[in-house]
Structure 1
Amino acid sequence: MSTDLHAPPVLSTPAEYIFQDPTPSSALSSENRPDRSDDELFTVYEIARTAAEIQARNWSRVALQFPDAMLADAPWVVGALDTELGKLQYSEGNSAAESIEQGAGALEEAQRKQKRNIRLYILADTSYSACCVDEIAAEHADADAVVHYGRACLSPTARLPVLHIFTRQALDYDAIAESFGQEFNGKETKAIIMADVMFQEHVAPICERLKAQGYNHIVATEIIRDPSSTIPNRSLPSLDPASAEKHDYDLHEYHLFHISTPPTSLLLSLSSRLASLRLYPTPSSPYTTTTSLPDPSATPSMLRRRYALVLRLTTASIIGILVNTLSVKNYMSTISTLREQIASAGKKSYTIVVGKLNAAKLANFAEIDGWVVVGCWESGLVDQDGLFKPVITPFELALAMQGDESRIWTGEWWGGIEGVKSEANPNTESTESQETVQKETAENIDGGVDEEESEPPVFDLRTGKLVSNSRPMRVAIRSSPPAGNAMQPNSGITRTQPNGSALVKRGTGEIALVNGVASPGAEFLRSKRTWQGLGTDFNPGEDEESAVIEEGRSGVARGYIVGEEQMRS
């Protein structure tokens, strides 16, 4: 017996799911925000240093990028910066007037700076990947530079200069020293002290306190803007203060003591480079959006899951390149390198520019067997929950494209484009891989052996099943000519001229060949997609015969005339 409906069925996505903000509600709640005075905010946001940098670099249009957790303070920061910049311009004008005897040039330069109108813009739409500098949004405001507030991945930018303000956060040195003593009992323990960028200014004082307690092998990290360094964005100073040369550390002998919650990508990167990882959680703050503390002991299992994703990509025939940032330097050369790696493995690649990744976006491309993300070293690690196809990093793709005999998993891991050796010229599309494929194909055909029969079978190591078409771009073209025939211009592919005519009519339903190879995407559309768009749900024969033309109704709505019999309806 059917039940009566008292409300219409829900056929759409709930409104609260339209915007998925990854920032915890506790970070945005006004009740959980500390009541800071103006003097405290002046120190936290480093207003004096920011204004001095803007004035010294002659920036006129400055974009201020805030994460969601700091947006409530953005209006106050703009007002404080305007006031501080006005003070600096006034003081420079007075000092130049007092030193007019030094020359007219100095006075004109000071007057120009004083009359310069500095405009500040708030960038407030960076809910996703707020660690990266949003150069695209800044260019909408025609900004000269970007001031980035909060924690950052420190990836080099491509176009605009950036001033990073990590914001100053307080720490309890006594609690940290006590926690360090509980983790490491021996005074001879070799340890590296590292903190999130928001707490970096406390690293040196903490190391001095630990050395005063008898720990002799404590090394303090320093911030550098280099995600490709052994410890991302960190450098290790010399052990001997009198030595000008850097000390060569054997990181496998050192333990890492990290202050605050690190990103998962950092744990995976350092798991194989140091002896162990120990974490010190910082107090909950509206400026730190992570609510749970990861377990470093679970890092090996996470690496094994990542390797399982790599194995899934080894048998993929079509790989999608996801570009989720346009601000990281060298992203174009990285895309070119990834295309070359995929093509050299005989696979097809498609490049898609996307912002925040979710299952709904990626599910629109059913023909893609796997994805590789081009982004910063933090956002390149994508959570696989709810995704239909695996999403890996460029470093993992390089492993997947290697053969089973040469692929060796050492535990090393890179999160972003830093693990890719990019081409020198990103604007030049390399064709060496395609030429190699064509050469191998021609050799197989000349030898009288079909390439599909000569290549070893490919098995999925997870399921043990045979994969029939893991390299669609290596399909043998029996119509290909010997290597001595002329080559088509701008293609690098040899072809023979047909015996009959220069033009050959393509059969109905056949897929056109591009460079002698059928597009895997078009083949998937023809053979595997159940719905191919509007107008494709008819029988093939119906498109060949047109409908019979009949006379319809005419007249006005008061009384239509139907057909020739002049009947009104």
Structure 2
Amino acid sequence: MTQLYSNELISLEKKIQNLEMTSSNCREFDLDFLYDLQRCKDWIIANNIKKVCLQFPDYLLYDVANVVKLFESALEMHVYVLGDTSYESCCVDYVAAAHINADGIVHFGSTCFSKPVEVIPTLLVHEKSKFDLDKLFNAFADQFHADTCGDVSVILDTPFIYKKEQMRLIKDIHQDITLHGLDEEDINVENRRVLYVGDNNRKLMIFNQLYKPKELFYYNNSNPEYVQAYAMDLKAIKRRSYLREVIKDSKTVGIIMGTVSVKNYKVIMHRMIKLCRLHGKKHYLISVGKPTVAKLANYPELDVYVLIGCPMNDIFDSRDYYKPIVTPHDVETALNPNAAGVRYHDLTSLAENNDDLNNISVNVCDVSLLSGTVRTVEEVQPDENTNDTIISLRQDGSVALQYKDGHLSSRTWKGLEQNIGKTEVELASEGRKGIASGYETEPK
């Protein structure tokens, strides 16, 4: 059973790293301010919530006991803690909250770019990190001169949104500057220069690919004296190009359901299935909770995995898995010739363009840039009545496979089944005695 979970040493190292990261920032704040207790209390009372869940990321678990005491004393009711999320801690865990029929969730900590399905009322309380406003203003003045900053937008990452009112001093000096928090939905920075204030490099990369500003600069606490220009990692660009060729070469694709809390995840799932069918690729739906190396190693027949989930998942950068793991955007750019307008990691834009697949033309023959061989595509007419292949992991850890044909149908082992009513009933009989090196019934 331990193989079904993450490596203990990796989990321990991750916990220590996050505690060190937050000890210098979060612990300097008062708990009332850090967790917005008054705002949470007002929201719970205003929405008449009787059963509320508090969701914490791993690096804030050391505050759980104190925060729960403050909540229960202020609300005079019991609260529930979600400490181990079903998928990523930056996404709201509606699955765990539904187990106790919660009617409200308060999410603490880092949040991502995903748009939630909002099946349960949710309040987001962003994490908070300290930074020196004077140093930021000085660095801003050095990079952007007063007569050339009319097209500059300042974007605050979620740990610094609480400083937004104080940041308006920049707008008082330079009135043409726009100021946004990363949690806003109406961010438009096309044809503008952007100063991104934040410490999360992955968020910075996704922001650049998602919003595509004219120029991108960033400021963080690791180098508070300067504003630095952002440049795409050449290794990341090469890897994305390589993965697109892997997708084109693949014959079998595993579609991993890595979330049920992100909006339009079902639409994207059906879109990935349709693209696979148009290109003659066999697909399998996989639902195993949090993907791990041990879980996905059960399916060596698959050539590549596409993970439908949170863009902040670090699994995309991992090299531990036996087969490559790609994003829906990678599949789009590899298999859809009309994918130029699709934004990176934007499931909403993919869902809105769901009808464009009816007009794409598939290249029946081309050459692989990896192997140098000729790729042929068999024309497959999508059959809407065909039952999708499903691979799932049960609560007891056994693997359940459901399929009608394809590579996995030739397996001799097809999962642990109880076969209730299919086996002959027999009386219990005495078994072997002794130890493995020599049972009593074995010949001497």
TM-score tier after normalising by the smaller chain length = 0.7 to 0.9
From 27, 35, 40, the counterpart of 2:18 = 27
Rounded to whole Å, the distance in 2 between the matches of 1:424 and 1:255 is 32
From 304, 324, 330, the counterpart of 1:370 = 304
Quote the residue 1:209 is aligned against: 169
* Letter in structure 2 aligned against 1:414: Y
Contact 2:256 2:285 in 1 (8 A): yes
Percent identity, aligned pairs only?
23
Quote the residue 1:147 is aligned against: 106
Q: CA deviation at 1:43?
A: 1.3
Q: Summarize the Cα distance change of 1:63–1:267 in structure 2 as closer, same or farther, 3 Å threshold.
A: same
From 162, 166, 170, the counterpart of 2:126 = 166
Q: CA deviation at 1:390?
A: 2.3
CA RMSD of aligned residues (A): 4.2
Q: Does 1:277 align with 2:216?
A: yes
Contact 2:25 2:129 in 1 (8 A): no
Q: Map 1:392-541 to 2 at 5 A.
A: 392-402=326-336, 406=337, 413-421=343-351, 456-467=364-375, 471=378, 519-522=406-409, 525=411, 533=413
Q: Summarize the Cα distance change of 1:366–1:137 in structure 2 as closer, same or farther, 3 Å threshold.
A: same
From 192, 199, 224, the counterpart of 1:261 = 199
Rounded to whole Å, the distance in 2 between the matches of 1:49 and 1:151 is 18
Query: What SS does the aligned partner of 2:148 have?
Result: coil
Contact 1:194 1:200 in 2 (8 A): no
From 127, 139, 142, the counterpart of 1:179 = 139
Rounded to whole Å, the distance in 2 between the matches of 1:85 and 1:489 is 51
From 288, 313, 324, the counterpart of 2:247 = 313
Range 51-60 or range 335-344, more displaced = 335-344
Q: Summarize the Cα distance change of 1:463–1:127 in structure 2 as closer, same or farther, 3 Å threshold.
A: same
Q: CA deviation at 1:473?
A: 5.1
Quote the residue 1:192 is aligned against: 153
Q: Summarize the Cα distance change of 1:407–1:283 in structure 2 as closer, same or farther, 3 Å threshold.
A: same
Contact 2:155 2:197 in 1 (8 A): yes
Q: CA deviation at 1:152?
A: 0.9
Q: Summarize the Cα distance change of 1:126–1:323 in structure 2 as closer, same or farther, 3 Å threshold.
A: same
Quote the residue 2:186 is aligned against: 235
Rounded to whole Å, the distance in 2 between the matches of 1:30 and 1:520 is 46
Contact 1:192 1:219 in 2 (8 A): yes
Q: Summarize the Cα distance change of 1:422–1:36 in structure 2 as closer, same or farther, 3 Å threshold.
A: closer
Range 64-73 or range 359-368, more displaced = 359-368
Point out where structure 1 has 5 or more consecutive residues left out of the alignment.
1-11, 87-117, 225-232, 237-248, 285-292, 426-431, 437-454, 476-487, 493-512, 526-531, 535-555, 563-567
* Letter in structure 2 aligned against 1:178: N
Contact 1:44 1:169 in 2 (8 A): no
Query: What SS does the aligned partner of 1:23 have?
Result: helix
Q: Summarize the Cα distance change of 1:23–1:182 in structure 2 as closer, same or farther, 3 Å threshold.
A: farther
Rounded to whole Å, the distance in 1 between the matches of 2:315 and 2:228 is 15
Q: Map 1:351-390 to 2 at 5 A.
A: 351-379=285-313, 382-390=316-324
Q: CA deviation at 1:367?
A: 1.5
Quote the residue 1:73 is aligned against: 63
Rounded to whole Å, the distance in 2 between the matches of 1:521 and 1:474 is 21
Q: CA deviation at 1:197?
A: 1.3
Q: CA deviation at 1:203?
A: 3.1
Quote the residue 2:79 is aligned against: 120
Rounded to whole Å, the distance in 2 between the matches of 1:265 and 1:325 is 19
Query: What SS does the aligned partner of 1:152 have?
Result: coil
Q: Summarize the Cα distance change of 1:198–1:265 in structure 2 as closer, same or farther, 3 Å threshold.
A: closer
Once the two structures are superposed, residues 94-151 of structure 1 have per-residue CA deviations (whole angstroms, 9 ceiling, x without a partner) of xxxxxxxxxxxxxxxxxxxxxxxx3201111139621011111112232111100011
Structure with higher RCO (Cα < 8 A, 6+ apart): 2
Rounded to whole Å, the distance in 2 between the matches of 1:462 and 1:382 is 20
Q: Map 1:553-564 to 2 at 5 A.
A: none
* Letter in structure 2 aligned against 1:202: K
Q: Number of residue pairs matched? A: 394
Scaled by the length of structure 1, what TM-score is found? 0.60
Mark the structure with the bigger radius of gyration: 1
Q: CA deviation at 1:198?
A: 2.2
* Letter in structure 2 aligned against 1:348: K
Q: Summarize the Cα distance change of 1:83–1:259 in structure 2 as closer, same or farther, 3 Å threshold.
A: same
Range 379-388 or range 193-202, more displaced = 379-388
Rounded to whole Å, the distance in 2 between the matches of 1:33 and 1:212 is 31
Quote the residue 1:479 is aligned against: none
Point out where structure 2 has 5 or more consecutive residues left out of the alignment.
388-402, 415-432, 435-439
* Letter in structure 2 aligned against 1:519: G
